[in-house]
Amino acid sequence: MNGTTNGTRKPVHLAVYDTLADWETGHATAHLARAGYPVRTVGPTTAPVTSIGGLRIQPDLALADVRPEDSSLLILPGADLWDTTDDLAPFARTARAFLDAGVPVAAICGATAGLAREGLLDDRAHTSAVSFYLAATGYAGGERYVEADAVTDRGLITAGPTEPVAFAREILGLLGAYEGEVLDAWYRLFHDSDPEAYAVLEKAGAA
């Protein structure tokens, strides 16, 4: 399984900031935690932040203290701030450092625009809410845009705001938390409410 050191899984780092979209990362973080990945929240500082749903979150650590070598994955949720200010640009720069170090990054919704502005989507297949949303950033990767629920390319996962389950599927698969028919069954259960999928997960001990 990826992201391990001496049998111990390195943490997954979840970025948290004001106006973050609560619904976009819950499937991923819950099932990563169940698979044994510690989840650590990372804020601009360690000061509390407030999600778009009004949840108050106390970050475990500040962005300046996060190092790729100490992480299995960086998750960047969407947030209003991605489109209204440059406040979250440091998170996009950190994503570049992670990818340069060979550590994966997963971005959903507005975070994809932040990565587009950083130039990280120029040479990778990717997706987002709609193509013209990213085109408005002025990025050079329009020809690499894919109409799909979620896309993984060279360690970078992208998805639009309506696809938190597909986003989680790509994350769980990339880190090896679930694989093969178990991963497929997990997706069918949570995305399609397929009752037959539950039996597969129960047999595998993943229900």
Please give the positions annotated as active site: 109
- How far, in Å, CA of 119 to CA of 177, rounded? 29
Q: How far apart are the C-alpha atoms of 66 and 6, rounded to whole Å?
A: 20
Residue type, 169: R
> CA gyration radius for the chain?
16
Give dist(CA 98, CA 193) in Å, integer: 35
CB 59, CB 41: distance < 8 Å: yes
According to DSSP, the residues that pair with 4 across neighbouring strands are 9
DSSP 8-state symbol, 142: G
Please state, in angstroms and rounded to a whole number, the distance separating the CA atoms of residues 50 and 19.
Answer: 6
CA distance 120 to 123: 7
